[in-house]
Structure 1
């Protein structure tokens, strides 16, 4: 019986030992890290940093290099900064203006259309079978309506009456020829209508353009620059109209189109100073002509007219003015004569430019203004085109007037 008990105890111990060994083996298998594949390199953990209180170990001897042996990294070239591309404005194309010679002949049809009433009216009246007092009064009214002026009209009518009486017969061709001769006599074919562009000194010719507001003065100045360039002159423009914001820009645009430089100043600046600088620049550049655009003066403003006189005096410090052109609007009629009279008192007008001749039937203003000032009409404007400013030619003007 005792033996059986001992045997049972031994068996129990063996069973307990086997179970314990199995549990321990299971735990060890779970805690073991997975084995790295043979192709993965072994990572060695660096030695732990010493902590405070640890004794320093003996230093390891390592080979050291001098500073001369240490190679510095090569400096890499810094790429240039890429700037935003600057888009240059396209150059202004230089235009070749139409030669001034013969312009009025080319524009004759346009002039004839605007002056058709005057020419046809005179020829119709003169062609009547009986030229009584009533007819001559109608002829006078026609001339006065066309702004020929009282004195020139009276003179023309008296000469026509005398010549018609002497001739006796009045065929259409004879009447046209007669009227042509008398109109040319009033227009003064003996006037020198050449635009003065040459100075008697070794300096550029100096021209000044004056006139009231609204006559197209700045535009006329730009067109005149084209006329001068077309005739082979080099031009410097002076933008002395500083009271109108767009005047200098407008003049500069005209100049750039024909390769003429514009001297300008700040808005509201001293016009006399700008005019002086323009002449100075023209002398320095060796230009043929300096063309000065002045502000449009109201003839009722005494102070502004005095300032125009100042511009003239300052410019003349370089030398005499060779040409002073007065720009008048042909559509203003007799009011233009009042303007002309006042300007002539301030500056010595040497020539007249009549603009907007294509927009009026009052072509007689040419006769009236010449009689008033005693100076010739040198240029007329016959449209808005760049080359519609033409030298005034009395013969072409009269031919357009009466259809000869």
Structure 2
């Protein structure tokens, strides 16, 4: 999954805990996509479809909150009140918001072009997520919470809908019997042509658990060579492997490892690939130590573990297809695009969100005020002290 789609998925997941349909007057009916304020000024167009300031600014604020949350986990609070950090990250916020706007438009465009529809159950599930997420809150609390992420109720419903459309596109192209899903025969052939199963005997120089030196390189090579000599003299490979191999993964992979290029260290992959079935290698040195490798028959039972990777290798993935659509999209920006920044983004949010969202500095000011209110005045303190005497 690309970083963009991961962040977009996080947008739904991160806010799901504060969302939901709901009670207290927020609609709990089926979720449908609904354009925002059509009278708002356009920031950019994607293949001719307008993205207005209220939607675009919501995406920007979401990204700001995303980074604020990430940095808070590292101990840096009030990220956007930190002038140096704000300037450094702020420069990337317009592009981040633009990419999310493009994502939203191309997903809806492709979904509609293909004539796809969300099922009743899919829409019902979205509504249920919203309902259950805020079962113990109120309408005002719900709206206040989502406003902190740049969402109005309709904005969030729209993005839930778009995310479900993305999943529908993924099913259409890459699901079972999807138009881009290769046949079982193609998957099997790719597996046979590109995957290897191999066993090995590993003699290490360093203890993988403690990092302490176990033996010198020369000693490890000498010990490995003595084992290889016994194999070449006719002793059983598996018996010697179970007796001498220092591979910590041996107990979980007694029949060997199944892998393709890039999944093992290069020396191990190249050494195994060069062998015929049942052939044993000479000593192969890697960062782990010395390997004696035996290539064995490809383990067909492992195919299901690699199926999704193979489908992606043959036909690509939904993320790659989405990125292609986004790259090919005709995007035009207006003068307003360069006007909206991380500093003034709050002024372009939907009016109902502007009245609820907490701006940088306000949270700490409110906290200071609350602490101040909680402290006794000098007169009160004096009176308390006198009564205690």
> Which has the larger share of helix?
2
TM-score band w.r.t. shorter chain: under 0.3
Structure of greater Rg: 1
The normalised TM-score by structure 1 is 0.19
| Larger relative contact order (Cα-Cα within 8 Å, sequence gap ≥ 6) | 2
